[in-house]
Amino acid sequence: MAKSSPRRELTSQHPHRRHQGIGTKPPKVENVWSTLARIWTYIRTEKKLFLFVLIIVVISSVLSLLGPYLLGVAVDKIIADPITETLLQMVGLLLAVYFLHSVTSWLQNYWMIGISQNTVFSMRNHLFSHIQRLPLLFFQKRQHGELMSRLTNDMDNVSRTLNSAVIQFTTSILTIMGTIAIMIWLSPLLTLLTMTTVPVMYFGMKWITKRTGRYFKDQQKHLGEMNGYVEEIFSGHQIIKMYSQEKRVIDDFSKKNESLRNASYWAQTYSGFIPKLMNMLNNASFAIIVGAGGILALNGLISIGVIVTFTTYSRQFTRPLNDLANQYNMILSAVAGAERVFQIIDEAEENENDKDTEDIEQIKGDIVFDSVYFSYEDDQPILKNINFHAAKGETIALVGPTGAGKTTIISLLSRFYENDEGHIYIDGKDIKTITRESLRRQMGVVLQDSMLFHTTIRENIRYGRLDATDEEVEKVARAAHADDFIKRLPDGYDTILDSDGKGISHGQRQLLSIARAMLADPALLILDEATSSIDTVTEMKISAALQTLMQGCTSFVIAHRLNTIRNADQILVVSEGDIIEQGNHRELLKKKGFYADLVYTQTSEQYILKKC
Amino acid sequence: MKKVFSYLRSYKLSVSIALSLMVLELIVELVQPLLMAKIIDDGILQDDLSIIAVWGSVLLGLSLIAFAAGITNSFFAAHASQGVGHDLRRDLFHKVQEFTVKHFQTFSTPGLVTRMTNDVTQVQGLLFMLMRIALRAPLFIVGGIIMAFLVHPGLATYLLLSVPVLLLFLFWILTRGVVLFRNVQERHDRVNTVIRENLSGIRLIKGFNRGEYEERRFKKENQSLADQNKKALWMMEVAMPVVMLGMNIVIILILWIGAVQLNLQEAQAGELVAIINYATRILFTFSVFTFLIMNFSRGSASAARIASVLYEKTGPQHFENLSLQPIKGGVRFENVSYRYGDQSGEILKNLSFSTEENKTVGILGETGSGKTTLLNLITKLLEKSSGHIFIDGTEIDEIDDKYLRKQMSVVPQEAHLFSGSVKENIEWGKDEATTEEVIRAAKDAQIHDFIISLPDGYDTRLGQKGITFSGGQKQRLSIARALVRKPKILILDDSTSALDAHTEARLLQTLKEQACTVFIVAQKISSFREADQILLLHQGQLIGSGSHESLLQTSRYYQSVYKSQMEEDVI
């Protein structure tokens, strides 16, 4: 069996080596520190406040330990002698401690929320602007869903953790240390007895997390599969309906739904054990303290107040241990998320190698391709020796089978990719000496998929030139023959479009994209299958409008429908990365080659009918 | 929320077991301070070791019982909540299968997917929590106060008075918090929309040099997300310190009054300790309460989103007494009109035409002239607003939808393929298709040669949405899928646009040989080379119909289309 499949497929099957190894593996320990250090660089701007918060956390932790201790002392005093002079002092002191504790715990949260939100804000901004500067190739090699997940889920993960984990982690550690210290100071023996629950907790938690870890992973996998399945089925809804395949998909879905239920059932059940275990150990230590403490108190070794204090502390002690386990997991998953975010930030920017580039003020539109070669991978040439010259104001058409390299030629012109060999000149200047920014500013593109934004029709057209007036917007809409249908919509130009483009037809979406490019009034216009769903009469009117509106503008047109390009000044027939024929319509017909053949099949019917 | 709760009914047993186990646990916890008081008062203070030993072990035994109850509860609660989750997903999925195009426009595909996954998970978590700890928090508070009353009514009164005040405060904060968090969620959606648009439109954004503009746009949304987040979190963070302070003041108050009563011999030391213990436990419960209500508000938002789908009316799916006669393929339209919802304009106006079986009908018209709508009426994906449509003389309303569609095939504008092998994708058209039938269909669709050139031939797997196939290959594959079921009516909605002229010509030739009525929408007149009749649509009206030759003579519109595509100078 032949192993050759179109090149485009090969590139998508074998991503660049640099992008490999990006998965959802848990982070290695040494990476945790470096990732945390990187997160710190974003917090650094608020370093002073952050340190201040840490100090407050210490104070508030001490206060939270002091409360129960003083309460125990007070109880002891009361039991010994209900009305004493010092009771008033004790109560006053308790009141002060409790008040300060509330104030400090509010303050630490207030400031920390500010810090973490600002940190996440600047991380998100950095990530987003970095993405704007990544080369196009980066996006082609990635699944959108996966990238999207990094930008949203992973960032949210970092945000949530920063909000709470920093404070809670510190508080937990301080509380545990403080609690143990006070407990030992009060009664080493009782402390030892209370601690008997700790090993039980450790092994219990280990036993549970081993299982939950496995089942949660299982659950995520099944959930992911189900997500993909549902997405596919819902977007193919019409096909399923038409082919009456409801039963088949419902059966398939039931299987997936069932296995998801099984995985989540165990994940949820086991994870439900954790608080119960904690509770049991709490209760057990409570029993131990009261039982053993009672015996000790009988022997006069400790006071009843100590028992009261201990019962509170034992609660304060197991809780943070539990929290610590949770927070540790939270921090690890946030670090994993941050790592995935940083991986993107570490990708090389598009402009990184631009050194000797300069802005070009006004492109005239004279374009030369001189022996241009291009490949994504070293051994897979996409373009081979492309040569042509487009004079200012000319229309250049590119025809040829899918995957021949037409879109790649145009992408090189926009500097989406860099050609490997040869030169591309614009107005005599090598394209590599011109900044991408100034180059693209003078280009208008209309792409096959006619991407529109989730906003009004007016704003979608205005995207071509942001300072255009409403009149200008409507003027280009008329020229693109979109005005008619826009006005028939209930809200006219203010109709808000769905980002899927539902509600208006494919052809109408293309009309809007054309209007958008017209508004930009570019020196170079690129139409990549821009009219494939537009009827030919409208298309002719549009191309007439383009000619008057865009006088002097050099344009490149890719089309399957040959009548779209009949009037082009030059037609380049591209096949397997090579220009195999070149010339205008008449010249190419005379050649009786590939192009003439295409024209003949498309029009033979009419031709024969006309002759009759 | 009501709708979602009704799903718990199927798991009545599990739910009631889970709830009773929870109550058992709760009782143990409530009894503990009471036992502690007994140990202190009767044991330690009376120097009675046996009481300490006995009640101490009772305490330990009880906590083991509570543990066992808690663990068992986990199984039943997970069973019920996972069951509800499963059932919700099942019913949502079934419901969506009944949806029409219109429903998809109101809910949008990503919206429906989120409901199936995130929202159901959210509800599931909420239910699990409700069955385990939710009732605990309020019950614990109530139970704690009651127990405190049993121990010492005088001191307990202070608890009774202060707790509702603090609860009210908590509720006030939380109701405000719910609103604030909803804002956060909305800002989140906006940030995500910008990201999604930037990922899918990166080529366009780069092409128009709009990087900085997008960065500004993102920064604005990002800033407002951060601001809203701060606002909501700040609001929520006020709650705990205030409640803590309030509760601690109550404890001090009890301590003070307790001291006085102790002095008057009206209270015992153990009683005082027990009540203070109840008070501190109630304080801890408050923090659970905060957590709970936050989850509840999020879960109820999800429940509402789920219910909105489940409540959606989809109309009857199956009619009794509808015709199940095999169709031959004749189609007749009589004054058919269609309007979209309440929107004023008619998309199709007074359409009349007819075709015999096994004929080919071409449909030509401007962008937005109603071609796809017309096709959707034949397949009953849309319902006509007025007029009559007949299939072989039977009114279309009287033919069962599914039965009708079983005898039709549609190839839509954008070829949608499913993950699975090439063979499986073709088999979608016919459940029990033999390998020969699949290959026959692929050959007719002019895709067989390409398929066998693939490494695994017919077993080659497609990525989702068929990423590794070109547009033309996808179109031909979806045509093969349509042909394998040997339809009586075949509908091609501009689905040959990405084919090169040679392939298209061959394809049309084979279609002609199939025993079926063909409706073909296209932009190229050459696509109509085999058409017996061509319908011309203009702004929803039929402005001409007939053969190529007659239209060329009579229709000015057809002439202009022809001219726009015709070569004056071929050869």
d(CA B9, CA B16): 10
On whether the CB atoms of residues B338 and B348 are closer than 8 A, the answer is yes
B420 in a domain, yes or no? yes
Our count of domains for chain B comes to: 2
Q: What is the pLDDT of residue B316?
A: 58
Q: Do A506 and B79 touch (CB under 8 A)?
A: no
For chain B positions 411-470, those within 8 Å of chain A (CB to CB) are: 412-414, 416, 418-419, 428-429, 431, 452-455, 457, 464-465, 467-468, 470
The mean pLDDT value for B474-488 works out to: 89
pLDDT tens for A514-551 read 999 888 888 889 888 888 888 888 888 888 888 887 78
CB pairs under 8 A between A and B: 494
Looking at the structure, tell me whether residues B248 and B346 fall in a common domain.
no
**Closest-CA distance of chain A to residue B387, Å:** 23
Looking at the structure, tell me whether residues A197 and A95 fall in a common domain.
yes
Read off φ and ψ for residue B446, nearest 5 degrees.
65, 30
How distant, in Å, are the alpha carbons of B24, B30, B136, B288 from that of B141? 15, 10, 8, 11
User: Token pair of B154, please?
Assistant: 């005088």
Looking at the structure, tell me whether residues A437 and A461 fall in a common domain.
no
Looking at the structure, tell me whether residues B146 and B46 fall in a common domain.
yes
d(CA A505, CA B101): 13
Of A118, A132, A163, the CB nearest to B211: A132
Q: What are the residue ranges of helices labelled H in B484-570?
A: 501-513, 548-554, 556-565
Minimal-distance CA residue of chain A relative to B103 = A237
Instruction: Specify the 3-state DSSP secondary structure of A12.
Output: helix
Q: Which residues pair with B354 in a beta bridge?
A: B332
d(CA B521, CA B477): 18
Strand ranges (DSSP E) for B329-384? 331-339, 346-355, 360-365
Strand ranges (DSSP E) for A52-142? none
Looking at the structure, tell me whether residues B260 and B377 fall in a common domain.
no
Looking at the structure, tell me whether residues B292 and B354 fall in a common domain.
no
Tokens 């490949």 — which residue?
A: A375
Looking at the structure, tell me whether residues B261 and B398 fall in a common domain.
no
On whether the CB atoms of residues A507 and A535 are closer than 8 A, the answer is yes
Give, rounded to a whole angstrom, the gap between the first and last alpha carbons of chain A: 47
Chain B residues with CB inside 8 Å of A298's CB?
43-44, 47, 49, 52
Read off φ and ψ for residue A525, nearest 5 degrees.
-120, 135
For chain B positions 356-415, those within 8 Å of chain A (CB to CB) are: 364-368, 372, 379, 381, 402, 405-406, 408-410, 412-414
Question: Could you tell me which residues come within 8 angstroms of residue A556 by beta carbon, excluding any fewer than 6 positions away?
Answer: A390, A395, A396, A397, A398, A410, A413, A524, A525, A526, A527
A253 in a domain, yes or no? yes
On whether the CB atoms of residues A278 and B133 are closer than 8 A, the answer is no
If pLDDT is split at 50, 70 and 90, which confidence band does A174 have? Answer: confident
d(CA A71, CA B181): 37
Our count of domains for chain A comes to: 3
Looking at the structure, tell me whether residues A485 and A430 fall in a common domain.
no
A417 in a domain, yes or no? yes
Q: Is the pLDDT of residue B67 over 90?
A: no
On whether the CB atoms of residues A302 and A187 are closer than 8 A, the answer is yes
pTM: 0.75
Looking at the structure, tell me whether residues B381 and B292 fall in a common domain.
no
Asked if the C-beta of B109 comes within 8 angstroms of chain A's C-beta atoms, the answer is yes
Q: What is the pLDDT of residue A604?
A: 56
Instruction: Specify the 3-state DSSP secondary structure of B226.
Output: helix
* Angle separating helix axes A188-195 and A304-345, nearest 10 degrees: 50
Chain B residues with CB inside 8 Å of A269's CB?
74-75, 78
Q: Do B32 and A283 touch (CB under 8 A)?
A: yes
d(CA B494, CA A505): 12
Asked if the C-beta of A67 comes within 8 angstroms of chain B's C-beta atoms, the answer is yes
Q: Is the pLDDT of residue B223 over 50?
A: yes
B293 in a domain, yes or no? yes
How distant, in Å, are the alpha carbons of A98, A188, B341 from that of A67? 7, 20, 66
Asked if the C-beta of A563 comes within 8 angstroms of chain B's C-beta atoms, the answer is yes
Looking at the structure, tell me whether residues A370 and A503 fall in a common domain.
no
Asked if the C-beta of A228 comes within 8 angstroms of chain B's C-beta atoms, the answer is yes
B324 in a domain, yes or no? no
On whether the CB atoms of residues B21 and B75 are closer than 8 A, the answer is no
On whether the CB atoms of residues B135 and B15 are closer than 8 A, the answer is no
For A372, the enclosing helix (H) or strand (E) is strand A367-375
Looking at the structure, tell me whether residues A395 and A474 fall in a common domain.
no
Looking at the structure, tell me whether residues B405 and B482 fall in a common domain.
yes
Please state the length of chain A.
612
Asked if the C-beta of B134 comes within 8 angstroms of chain A's C-beta atoms, the answer is no
d(CA B524, CA B561): 9
How distant, in Å, are the alpha carbons of A224, B453, B456 from that of A2? 34, 5, 10
Q: Do A261 and B82 touch (CB under 8 A)?
A: yes
User: How much is the CA Rg of chain A, to the nearest whole Å?
Assistant: 35
- Classify residue A200 by burial, with Cβ atoms within 10 Å: 0-12, 13-18, 19+: middle
**What percentage of chain A exceeds 90 in pLDDT?**
11
Of A249, A269, A535, the CB nearest to B75: A269
Q: Share the mean pLDDT of chain A.
A: 80
Q: Share the mean pLDDT of chain B.
A: 82
The mean pLDDT value for B91-100 works out to: 86
Question: Within 10 A of A294 (CB to CB), how many other CB atoms are there?
Answer: 26
pLDDT tens for A276-288 read 887 778 777 777 8
Tokens 């001490």 — which residue?
A: A62
User: Token pair of B536, please?
Assistant: 């011309």
Looking at the structure, tell me whether residues A368 and A517 fall in a common domain.
no
End of a domain among A295, A315, A345? A345
Q: Range of B289's domain?
A: 2-310
The mean pLDDT value for B301-319 works out to: 75
Q: Range of A514's domain?
A: 450-521
Q: Nearest Cα to A132, choosing from B215, B275, B174?
A: B215
The domain spanning residue A181 has which CATH number? Answer: 1.20.1560.10
How distant, in Å, are the alpha carbons of A206, B118, B178, B311 from that of B301? 35, 12, 10, 15
Looking at the structure, tell me whether residues A331 and A223 fall in a common domain.
yes
Looking at the structure, tell me whether residues B375 and B450 fall in a common domain.
yes
pLDDT tens for A87-105 read 788 888 889 999 999 999 8
Looking at the structure, tell me whether residues B87 and B173 fall in a common domain.
yes
d(CA B123, CA B277): 34
Chain B residues with CB inside 8 Å of A451's CB?
197, 200-201, 203-204
Q: What is the pLDDT of residue A561?
A: 76
The domain spanning residue B298 has which CATH number? Answer: 1.20.1560.10
- Classify residue A188 by burial, with Cβ atoms within 10 Å: 0-12, 13-18, 19+: exposed
Tokens 């659970």 — which residue?
A: B288
**What percentage of chain B exceeds 90 in pLDDT?**
12
Query: A451-465, B199-213, B256-270: which has the highest mean pLDDT?
Result: A451-465
- Classify residue A314 by burial, with Cβ atoms within 10 Å: 0-12, 13-18, 19+: buried
Q: Do A451 and B453 touch (CB under 8 A)?
A: no
The mean pLDDT value for B309-322 works out to: 69
On whether the CB atoms of residues A477 and A483 are closer than 8 A, the answer is yes
Q: What is the pLDDT of residue B503?
A: 80
If pLDDT is split at 50, 70 and 90, which confidence band does B493 have? Answer: confident
More reliable by pLDDT, A82 or B32: B32
Q: Do A91 and B104 touch (CB under 8 A)?
A: no
Which amino acid is present at A121? F
d(CA B519, CA A579): 38
**Closest-CA distance of chain A to residue B548, Å:** 9
B319 in a domain, yes or no? no
**Closest-CA distance of chain B to residue A30, Å:** 31
A541 in a domain, yes or no? no
d(CA B33, CA B16): 27
Q: What is the pLDDT of residue A43?
A: 86
Q: Is the pLDDT of residue A111 over 60?
A: yes
Looking at the structure, tell me whether residues A394 and A492 fall in a common domain.
no
Looking at the structure, tell me whether residues A581 and A459 fall in a common domain.
no
Torsion, Cα B40 B44 B49 B54, to 10 degrees, reads 0
The domain spanning residue A510 has which CATH number? Answer: 3.40.50.300
The mean pLDDT value for A170-179 works out to: 84
pLDDT tens for B433-464 read 889 999 999 999 989 988 888 778 888 887 54
Looking at the structure, tell me whether residues B255 and B356 fall in a common domain.
no
Q: Do A232 and B465 touch (CB under 8 A)?
A: yes
Q: Do A144 and B199 touch (CB under 8 A)?
A: yes
User: How much is the CA Rg of chain B, to the nearest whole Å?
Assistant: 36
Chain B residues with CB inside 8 Å of A502's CB?
104-105, 108
User: Token pair of A7, please?
Assistant: 């090149």
How distant, in Å, are the alpha carbons of A175, A187, A390, A558, B37 from that of A182? 10, 9, 85, 79, 24
How distant, in Å, are the alpha carbons of A156, B91, B518, B529 from that of B508? 53, 42, 10, 8
Q: Which residues pair with B353 in a beta bridge?
A: B333
Looking at the structure, tell me whether residues B279 and B355 fall in a common domain.
no
Looking at the structure, tell me whether residues A177 and A198 fall in a common domain.
yes
Pair type for strands B346-355 and B360-365: unpaired
For chain B positions 501-520, those within 8 Å of chain A (CB to CB) are: 501-502, 504-505
Asked if the C-beta of A608 comes within 8 angstroms of chain B's C-beta atoms, the answer is no
pLDDT tens for A149-167 read 677 767 877 887 887 777 8
Asked if the C-beta of B557 comes within 8 angstroms of chain A's C-beta atoms, the answer is yes
Looking at the structure, tell me whether residues B220 and B336 fall in a common domain.
no
Strand ranges (DSSP E) for A376-509? 381-390, 395-399, 421-426, 429-430, 443-446
Instruction: Specify the 3-state DSSP secondary structure of B356.
Output: coil
Asked if the C-beta of A12 comes within 8 angstroms of chain B's C-beta atoms, the answer is yes
